[in-house]
Amino acid sequence: MKIAYIIVRVLLGALFLFSSIAVLFNLVQEPEMTGNIKIFNDGLKASGYLMTLIKITELVCAIAFLTGRFVPLASVIIAPVVINIFMVHIMIAPEGIPVGIFVVVANAFLGYYNRSAYAALFVPVHKV
């Protein structure tokens, strides 16, 4: 299971690393979009900061995944981004569903593998 963990961690890290660097440094030309995905993407860009924040978050988490340091923390931080990727591909751009499924399953696997790191979060604390 440790080998599977390393493979999934590196693949997820590489995916986020390449996608964040490509967008942050404008290394690839954005494909022509139409319909609802164009409206959604234009809204992200119109905010002025949101796409940059998402891509910097992806970059930081990718570095954590690739180095193997702070993986449980990176997995929690990237979770909202992963859910959004999945939901966008389910609702707006179904051609990307395989990528959406991969990031959800990979992040869930990392969370399951590191479940002991999250154990303290699920202990009820009674303050008097």
pLDDT in tens, 32-74: 888 999 999 999 889 999 999 999 999 999 999 999 999 999 9
* Global confidence as pTM: 0.90
Q: What percent of the chain has pLDDT over 90?
A: 82
Nearest 5°: the CA angle 101, 107, 111 is: 140
The pLDDT tens digits of the residues spanning 19-40 come to 999 999 999 888 888 899 999 9
Which of these, 26, 101, 110, lies nearest to 72 by C-alpha position? Answer: 110
